[in-house]
Structure 1
Amino acid sequence: MIDAPILGLDRTSIPSERNYSRTLTNDWELNNPSIGTYMIRAQIGYEISKAEFTTPENNTFTNEPEIMIEGTAYQD
């Protein structure tokens, strides 16, 4: 089994033009946008605990372009 995520190509969205591949000479090269945008797909064999948000309060709405979100997340 290969221990790496699977790459997919999104050919339906506007290309991100941020996809690079290693060449045969071990250099990094920007891919041609016509091939699509890379998408990493992975299977996760575990779940994490639910994050708890303390601010903003639940059901809060805003039209601000940025807000501060605070809370805790637990690593099992």
Structure 2
Amino acid sequence: MDGSSVKSEHICQCGKIGTLLHELTQSIQVIHAYAWGCQNQLQNDELVMQEFRSILQIICEHSHLMGNKIHSFSDSNLTSRPI
């Protein structure tokens, strides 16, 4: 690859990393918000078992989503080429 191609590839890879970080941050914020809300409701004895199950389901879905995003990212060609 010539210098221009290498620079373009580097910019592309940095953009993919930025996108991944943004997507992971969104899932982390959702998990945090639901966990915080659950904690507050537990402290105030306002949480019924069905709500607790629902909150845990959402947390599980977002943690699974994060795992899939990381797995997809690591399977991409970014891991086989140095930045």
Query: TM-score w.r.t. structure 1 length?
Result: 0.21
Would you tell me which structure has more helix in proportion to its own residues? 2
Would you tell me which structure has more strand in proportion to its own residues? 1
Query: TM-score w.r.t. structure 2 length?
Result: 0.20
Tell which has more relative contact order, 1 or 2 (C-alpha 8 A, sep 6+): 2
